Amino acid sequence: MSRRVDVAIIGAGSAGVSALRTVRQFTDNYLLIDGGALGTSCARVGCMPSKSLIETARLFQNRHRQQSRGITGTEHLSVHTKDVLEQVRSDRDFFTRTTANLTDELSKNHFLQGYARFDAPNQLDVDGKKFECGAVIIATGTQAYVPTQWQSLGHRLLVSDWLFEQTDLPHKLGVVGLGAIGLEVGQALAHLGHDVVGVDLADALGGAQDPAIIKVAHDTIGRSLPMHTGHHVTLSGSGDGVSMQFGDNRCGVDNVIVAVGRTPNVANLNLQALGVPLNTAGVPDSDPQTCQIGDLPVFIAGDVSVHQPLQHEAIDEGAIAGFNSVCADIRAYRRRVPLKITFTDPQIAQFGCGYGSLDLTTTVVGQALMADNGRARISGMNAGLIRLYANRAGLLLGGELLCDHAEHMAHLLAWQITHSATVASILRQPFYHPVVEEAIRSALRTMAKKLYKNHSVVEWQEPILL
């Protein structure tokens, strides 16, 4: 005998909890299902524990800047990795408690701990219990991917899903994959005194697309984290450690951190029962503006959808899926301006249209070197580059930043795109002195010269396009 629910939500991560908050505003006949460890991927294995590690690394790394300012005694500072990791877990546990508290508040009619499997698009089996569903939201998240040929290395491999469970880390570490996670963790551990080497097949770092940003990123981040890009890597056991071979190079490390991507948690869902094709990631294609799979009463939200595997995007998709799961008419929602941040030193940020999507024949590019910014120079954080993109009408399209405080400046600029700001209208905004935001103005002024006849006075007069 099956139980009827209006909406079943599979997964209690960021997307699932966001969907739940929306659904419960419209119906009390819902069910949240989760069979894994409670807590979002962001809180447990991603954003939050990595930022805790990065903050500790930043504090230790700052001893070099203190010495240059006449502060003595910093040479006596040392790092106890066991204590660092204990603090990381303490911070992580604080953030994962939110989800645990939420599920504790739900009644047995509203939360079921178990693993769901589709019998049909509107039918679920949860460990033998049957459910008829008005709609189903798939929000099962992802897990770290380890290539099959490396899995025999066992405990000598670390991924973000269990990196922060380690009570200690060896001195010599390799990092394979220099996207956001690999680059952040690799540099943080190097700053904490570990001997780290990073390798990636791609030349890009931290998700950057702009060749100018990538070049400067190699120069600046490479000062603290030795990196080898453009190489396939071969891993093999060597005693108690791992031998890494890439290009003509070979080195031995104690452990390797593998950060080569994540794969959707869908293996046991029996998605074939939906009757629709699965893409190369093993999930059905869905509409990013509705989160619906075809015309089925099934929605997919968060990292598992492989649209934009970012926490704020997962929350938005959960809300969209939640609304559409309870509404009679499916609605398409406009997505927010894309925003990505890698918390390295200096930070890497992208907002709006990515470099790879631009038509360079109709795009105006402006740039500013952080070396020329007074505030950044005084703080000893003046490495990096700002690159901004606009169309021929002066409309800001996007940009990439490599600089200290990029996390804040990227937000400010993404908000400007939301309001259809132009190069001229942003230049008319106030810029205090001395602040790092003056670098944005410097980049905008280089764009104004390419866009406006009256570029020298465009900050006070209406712009006249060339």
| 227-252 per-position pLDDT tens digit | 999 999 999 999 999 999 999 999 99
Q: Tokens 């490495």 identify what position?
A: 383
Q: Classify residue 360 as exposed, middle or buried by CB count within 10 Å of its CB (0-12, 13-18, 19+).
A: exposed
Has residue 410 been placed in a domain?
Answer: yes
Residues 214 and 270 both lie in one domain? no
With 80 as the cut, is the pLDDT of residue 100 above it? no
With 90 as the cut, is the pLDDT of residue 69 above it? no
Has residue 466 been placed in a domain?
Answer: no
The chain-wide mean pLDDT, for the chain, equals: 94
Residues 20 and 123 both lie in one domain? yes
Structural domain ending residue among the three candidates 211, 236, 260: 260
Work out the pLDDT band at 466, boundaries 50, 70, 90: confident
Q: What distance in Å separates the CA atoms of residue 42 and residue 311, rounded to the nearest whole number?
A: 7
Q: What distance in Å separates the CA atoms of residue 32 and residue 67, rounded to the nearest whole number?
A: 54
pLDDT, average across residues 92-102 = 78
The CA distances from residue 277 to 117, 269, 274, 283, in Å, are 17, 14, 9, 8
Between 249 and 37, whose confidence is greater?
249
Has residue 316 been placed in a domain?
Answer: yes
Q: What distance in Å separates the CA atoms of residue 446 and residue 454, rounded to the nearest whole number?
A: 13
Phi, psi for residue 84 in degrees, rounded to 5:
-60, -50
pLDDT, average across residues 419-428 = 97
Bridge partner residues of 198 (DSSP): 175, 227
Residues 49 and 177 both lie in one domain? no
Residues 91 and 203 both lie in one domain? no
Return the structure tokens found at 80: 């106890």
The CATH code of the domain that includes 344 is: 3.30.390.30
Residue 352's identity, in one-letter code, is G
Bridge partner residues of 32 (DSSP): 9, 111
Instruction: State the pLDDT at residue 64.
Output: 86
Instruction: State the pLDDT at residue 287.
Output: 97
pLDDT, average across residues 300-326 = 95
The CATH code of the domain that includes 247 is: 3.50.50.60
Share of the chain above pLDDT 90, in %: 85
Return the structure tokens found at 355: 């470099």
- Which sign, positive or negative, has the C-alpha torsion 189, 190, 192, 194? positive
Residues 129 and 273 both lie in one domain? yes
Structural domain ending residue among the three candidates 238, 260, 282: 260
Return the structure tokens found at 406: 């990029």
Torsion-angle region of 405 (φ positive above 0: left; ψ -120 to 50: alpha; else: beta): left
Residues 346 and 435 both lie in one domain? yes
The CA distances from residue 286 to 196, 299, 314, 442, in Å, are 40, 8, 14, 41
Q: What distance in Å separates the CA atoms of residue 315 and residue 296, rounded to the nearest whole number?
A: 22
Instruction: State the pLDDT at residue 298.
Output: 98
- The answer to whether 287 and 300 have CB atoms below 8 angstroms apart is no
Residues 253 and 269 both lie in one domain? no
- The answer to whether 17 and 137 have CB atoms below 8 angstroms apart is no
With 70 as the cut, is the pLDDT of residue 99 above it? no
Return the structure tokens found at 136: 């189903």
Q: What distance in Å separates the CA atoms of residue 341 and residue 198, rounded to the nearest whole number?
A: 19
Residue 364 parent element (H or E): strand 363-369
Highest mean pLDDT among 55-69, 337-351, 451-465: 337-351
Residue 239's identity, in one-letter code, is G
Residues 373 and 281 both lie in one domain? no
Has residue 86 been placed in a domain?
Answer: yes
| 270 HSE (CA, 13 A, CB side) | 13
Question: Taking CA 325 as the corner, what is the angle to CA 324 and CA 330, rounded to the nearest 5 degrees?
Answer: 35
Has residue 333 been placed in a domain?
Answer: no
Return the structure tokens found at 146: 């380890």
As for how many domains the chain has, the answer is 3
Residues 167 and 125 both lie in one domain? no
Q: Classify residue 359 as exposed, middle or buried by CB count within 10 Å of its CB (0-12, 13-18, 19+).
A: exposed
pLDDT, average across residues 306-313 = 90
Instruction: State the pLDDT at residue 40.
Output: 67
Instruction: State the pLDDT at residue 104.
Output: 75
Q: How many CB atoms lie within 10 A of CB 86?
A: 13
Structural domain ending residue among the three candidates 226, 260, 294: 260
* Residues spanned by the domain of 297: 3-144+263-326
Give strand ranges (E) for 1-122: 3-10, 30-34, 111-113, 116-120
Has residue 334 been placed in a domain?
Answer: no
Q: How many CB atoms lie within 10 A of CB 249?
A: 12
With 70 as the cut, is the pLDDT of residue 153 above it? yes
pLDDT tens digits for range 42-53: 767 678 899 999
Has residue 67 been placed in a domain?
Answer: yes
With 90 as the cut, is the pLDDT of residue 376 above it? yes
Residue 84's identity, in one-letter code, is V
The CA distances from residue 164 to 140, 333, 374, in Å, are 21, 36, 38
Q: What distance in Å separates the CA atoms of residue 223 and residue 306, rounded to the nearest whole number?
A: 33
Residues 121 and 152 both lie in one domain? no
Residues 343 and 445 both lie in one domain? yes
Residues 64 and 155 both lie in one domain? no
Has residue 10 been placed in a domain?
Answer: yes
